Amino acid sequence: MTKSVEKDSTVSLHFNLTLADGSPVDGTSDGEPMNFTMGDGAMIEPFENVILGLSVGEKQQVSLDPREAFGFPDDENKHWMDRAEFKMDVELQEGLVIEFSTPEGENIPGSLVELTEDKVLVDFNHPLAGHEIIFSVEVVDIK
């Protein structure tokens, strides 16, 4: 009987994420496969749903619209912060992505979108929010 990916499987796979226009976003095809356990949060649920039921060697490619992938940008996820809150050894510039710690101790990325003399507008939306994503995957191993 062929083993397939189940809800608690530990999976090794190669994947590629691209935007709808073909621009590469992330992937493992040129390196080591990604290893994770289904449901551990390493992959978002829609990506896990794509590989559920696949066997070793099987490939799958799907297009996920923003609702299925990373959602749409939300203006409430943009916040003005005082420049004084940033380390002085970092040159602040638009487009720079900085890791921030939440009060719960979680690390999240924020993109600097606007700078004034004493304030910085930080966008905490996922960088892929609002984008259609093409997810290609090949299952390498299942435990």
Q: Quick check: is 5 in a domain?
A: no
**21 and 51 part of one domain:** yes
Predicted confidence (pLDDT) per residue in 93-123, tens digit? 999 999 998 889 888 899 999 999 999 999 9
CATH of the domain at 87: 2.40.10.330
pLDDT of residue 65 exceeding 70 = yes
**33 and 58 part of one domain:** yes
CATH of the domain at 28: 3.10.50.40
SS3 36: strand
The pTM is what?
0.75
**118 and 137 part of one domain:** no
Q: What is the DSSP letter of 124?
A: -
Residue with tokens 């709808």: 20
Range of the domain at 22: 10-70+130-142
